[in-house]
A = this chain, B = another copy of it.
Amino acid sequence: MLKLKRIGIDTYRDNVAFIARCCTPYRPEEFQAFRKIEVIHDGNRLLASLLIVDDETIVGRNELGLSEQAFKRIQKPEGTLVQLAPAIPPRSLDHVRSKIHGHTLDESQINDIIGDIATHRYSEMEIAAFLISSAGFMTTDEMLALTRAMAGAGNQLNWDAPVVVDKHCIGGIPGNRTSMIVVPIVAAHGLPMPKSSSRAITSPAGTADTMEVLAKVDLTMEEMREVVKECNGCLVWGGHVNLSPADDIMIAVERPLAIDTREQMVASILSKKIAAGSTHLVVDLPLGPSAKVRSHEDALRLRKLFEYISDQVGLHIEVSVTDGSQPVGRGIGPVLEARDAMAVLRREPGAPMDLKEKSLRLAGQILEFDKSLRGGKGYDRACELLESGEALTVMERIISAQGRSQKEYALGTLIHDVATEADGVVTAIDCYRMARIARLAGAPLDKGAGIDLFKKVGDPVEAGEALYRIYACVESDFQFARSMAGEANGYAIGAGL
């Protein structure tokens, strides 16, 4: 028997066990080739990857160390006596091997795999094996089974309403913070829109990061229900709600490998929406040379995939191909994006027109899920709700209900203006590069870090004129961002459009 010890190492999502090489009751090197063991306590078994430790100050010869994640999952105090055994790999790995060798999987096989992933029985490498084997080829039946299995593996929300609306953006466009405008408009009309969003993982800001500038976003499921009951809508972080957890786990593995297939993306997005209890969904699909979707064919294929799967699972969907040729709005980073969204809701004269127009169009599409507005009346209704200030009132109510932010987030005090060297007209802005610069500047970790765009496509510029301003809070980030902007500032300047 070994004594449980918590090891302060964050192994992201992998369960990792640390065992001393000289561990007295076992010989960990016997397990090393297979890299995985079972930790047994009261008949429960936790599968964990194995690391052998040669430093007894980290883990002693009678101890079993568990990384933060694994320690949380085993739910036992330090010092608990546990046993080890060679791991018996999840049976569903046979299905993964079968997929690797070119077979297609049926619904029950996919359910087994997703069930084991959601309950942390797969190592990251095993998850990668499933993702990669599926990335090469998936039948539509497999996609459908994957979507259903992911949606069913975590919590499922139910709103007791015939129409529950949601929107989703494929991502990749900085500043595209339409949800913070769409949700209050739609909620003001009376359609329930319980929006849960992610935090940025590789981008400079997610809706949750931006909303957090104004209000508390890490609500429990119960708190979320209360807010929606009161306001018809909310803008919360999905992390506490545990919707489609297998999806989060798979995305964490996908990202460093940069495999990104249409099929997995569609299954991922729809599984979350189904689990969130949505009945009607608008998907914002930006198309542009530096967006995720770069050609019309690609956009069409993706739209068809969304429509096919949604149809099968009984979700009403509208896929809207939008302009993804440059960032939307002016600010990139939580504080700057919150400023833009509030400027639109407050009908300030300087509010970014493109963000406003796009939000109104998306809100209009969603409002047409209400039978009384069908046939083109949604957009006008959206304008009405925005211009009358009703949307702003609902937004203020949502902020109060979620809990107004106790902290005043300010812009970073390290400031650098990036200027153009040429006269002409802005012909393109590289979304990917602007996102990277803003991210290096410290967003979203520093809410006040980011980029404020002074010029957009079509604007005339003179040599020496500032294109945008970088804000940062930490010196090393400031230098990283300046140096990347110095290499290439992300703007193309031409003779005219």
Residues in B whose Cβ lies below 8 Å from that of A201: 33
> Which residue of B18, B27, B93, B136 contacts A9 across the interface (Cβ within 8 Å)?
B18
Q: How large is the interface on A (under 10, 10 to 19, 20 to 34, 35 or more residues)?
A: 35 or more
User: In the bound complex, do residue A137 and residue B102 qualify as a contact, i.e. CB atoms below 8 Å apart?
Assistant: yes
A368 within 8 A of B: no
Interfacial residues of chain A within 111-158, with CB under 8 A of chain B in the complex: 123-126, 128-129, 132-133, 135-137
How many copies of this chain does the complex contain?
2
Query: Which of A254-262, A325-333, A350-358 forms part of the interface with chain B?
Result: A254-262
A444 to B255, CA, bound (A): 39
> Which residue of B53, B68, B101 contacts A54 across the interface (Cβ within 8 Å)?
B68
User: In the bound complex, do residue A255 and residue B445 qualify as a contact, i.e. CB atoms below 8 Å apart?
Assistant: no
Interfacial residues of chain A within 191-217, with CB under 8 A of chain B in the complex: 201-202
Residue of chain B at shortest CB distance from A253? B125
A29 to B443, CA, bound (A): 12
Shortest C-beta distance, A215 to chain B (Å), equals 23
> Which residue of B30, B93, B252 contacts A445 across the interface (Cβ within 8 Å)?
B30
A401 within 8 A of B: no
Shortest C-beta distance, A278 to chain B (Å), equals 26
A36 within 8 A of B: yes
Shortest C-beta distance, A108 to chain B (Å), equals 21
A21 within 8 A of B: yes
A439 to B33, CA, bound (A): 12
A30 to B476, CA, bound (A): 12
Residues in B whose Cβ lies below 8 Å from that of A126: 257
Q: A34-B202, A255-B34, A445-B29 are in contact. Are A11 and B129 (CB under 8 A)?
A: no
A7 within 8 A of B: yes
Shortest C-beta distance, A295 to chain B (Å), equals 16
Would you give the 0/1 interface string for A258-295, flagging 1 where the beta carbon is closer than 8 Å to chain B? 11010000000000000000000000000000000000
Would you give the 0/1 interface string for A1-41, flagging 1 where the beta carbon is closer than 8 Å to chain B? 00000011111100000100100011101101111100000
User: In the bound complex, do residue A256 and residue B51 qualify as a contact, i.e. CB atoms below 8 Å apart?
Assistant: no
> Which residue of B10, B29, B100 contacts A259 across the interface (Cβ within 8 Å)?
B100
A462 within 8 A of B: no
> Which residue of B27, B93, B128, B474 contacts A128 across the interface (Cβ within 8 Å)?
B128
Residues in B whose Cβ lies below 8 Å from that of A133: 132, 136
User: In the bound complex, do residue B258 and residue A93 qualify as a contact, i.e. CB atoms below 8 Å apart?
Assistant: yes
Residues in B whose Cβ lies below 8 Å from that of A129: 128, 132, 257, 259
A255 to B97, CA, bound (A): 13
A312 within 8 A of B: no
A55 within 8 A of B: yes
Shortest C-beta distance, A297 to chain B (Å), equals 16
A414 within 8 A of B: no
Residues in B whose Cβ lies below 8 Å from that of A53: 8-10
User: In the bound complex, do residue B100 and residue A132 qualify as a contact, i.e. CB atoms below 8 Å apart?
Assistant: yes
Residues in B whose Cβ lies below 8 Å from that of A137: 102
A52 within 8 A of B: yes
Residues in B whose Cβ lies below 8 Å from that of A54: 8-10, 68
Residues in B whose Cβ lies below 8 Å from that of A411: none
Interfacial residues of chain A within 26-81, with CB under 8 A of chain B in the complex: 26-27, 29-30, 32-36, 51-55, 57-58, 68
- Looking at A9, A18, A36, A126, the one whose CB has the most chain B CB atoms below 10 A away is A9
Residues in B whose Cβ lies below 8 Å from that of A257: 125-126, 129
Task: Contacts A35-B255, A125-B128 known; list 8 others, CB within 8 Å.
Answer: A7-B58, A9-B18, A9-B53, A12-B51, A26-B476, A33-B201, A125-B253, A129-B257
**19 pairs from A and B in contact (CB 8 Å cutoff):** A7-B55, A8-B55, A9-B18, A9-B51, A9-B53, A9-B54, A9-B58, A10-B21, A10-B54, A11-B51, A12-B32, A12-B51, A29-B445, A35-B256, A93-B258, A102-B137, A128-B132, A133-B136, A136-B136
Q: Top 9 A-B pairs ranked by shortest CB distance? A: A8-B55, A8-B54, A10-B52, A35-B256, A132-B132, A33-B201, A100-B135, A125-B128, A33-B202
Binding site for B on A (CB under 8 A): 7-12, 18, 21, 25-27, 29-30, 32-36, 51-55, 57-58, 68, 89, 93, 97, 100-102, 123-126, 128-129, 132-133, 135-137, 201-202, 252-253, 255-259, 261, 439, 442, 445, 474, 476-477
